[in-house]
A and B are shown apart, each in its own frame.
Chain A
Amino acid sequence: DIQMTQSPSAMSASIGDRVTITCRASQGISNYLAWFQQKPGKVPKRLIYASSSLQSGVPSRFSGSGSGTEFTLTISSLQPEDFATYYCLQHNSYPYTFGQGTKLEIK
């Protein structure tokens, strides 16, 4: 199975900060990588697909990059509504696997 390792597992940041979350795959997954945002008690929401494609309706301050084994999610300027938990998911091979999550909190 492919292991997805997210870092950091938690972080605190301020409004307006630039934030980067990393996801590393234990083997190459091409660009079959998606990023999801989940707020407490809510349904996960897809932000990025195919590593770098922005989901329709998602603000342009979110961006993704990477291919192979290393991927990043960047929020260019944190907004209050961005404080949430973020998950990466590889869907290159079965079983699909999520990262353990990154909890982004207000500093």
Chain B
Amino acid sequence: EVQLVESGGGLVQPGRSLRLSCTASGFTFGDYAMSWVRQAPGKGLEWVGLIRNKVYGGTTEYAASVKGRFTISRDDSKSIAYLQMNSLKTEDTAVYYCTRGGGYNYGDYWGQGTLVTVSS
């Protein structure tokens, strides 16, 4: 059974950093791209970014709203994807979901989400 479990959320002050983790199981993690999507309270879904698998260079793509502040990485030996969030702003407050896949696999599995609250 495919499972994605996010962790690392919490309350953080503006300007500080936080790292989220997405621990995967039930599939060959290294074969898939991994992605992050967020949802601010009462708002719609916002795509954050993606990391390709090593076959495609493990390269990353980001939304303009987070580019330069957020970094996605992966550790295939541990089946974990990370979202490093720096210079956090109040508008980054959201539930952060990790999702599996690139191409037509995109979004077939989602984690349960982890809440990040940026507030002083």
Contact = CB atoms under 8 A, between A and B. Distances in A.
Contacts of B106: 34, 49, 89, 91, 96
A95 B112 contact: no
Nearest to A99: B44
B45 A55 contact: no
Contacts of B46: 98
Contacts of A65: none
A89 B107 contact: yes
Interface residues of A, number: 25
B86 to A, nearest CB: 19
B97 A96 contact: no
B1 interface: no
B46 to A, nearest CB: 7
A50 B62 CA distance: 22
A1 B64 contact: yes
Q: Size band of the B side of the interface?
A: 20 to 34
Contact of A101 (B44, B49, B50, B111): B44
B110 A100 contact: no
A43 B104 contact: no
B112 to A, nearest CB: 6
Contact of A50 (B61, B102, B104, B112): B104
Nearest to B4: A43
Contacts of A91: 102-103, 106-107
Interface string A17-37: 000000000000000101010
B108 A100 contact: no
Contacts of B64: 1, 95
A31 to B, nearest CB: 9
Given A49-B104, A95-B62, A87 B45 contact: yes
16 contacts: A34-B106, A34-B107, A36-B107, A38-B45, A46-B108, A49-B104, A50-B104, A55-B108, A85-B44, A87-B44, A89-B106, A95-B49, A95-B64, A98-B47, A101-B44, A101-B45
Q: Which 3 A-B pairs have the closest CB atoms?
A: A94-B61, A96-B47, A101-B44
Interface of B: 35, 37, 44-47, 49-50, 61-64, 97, 102-104, 106-108, 110-113
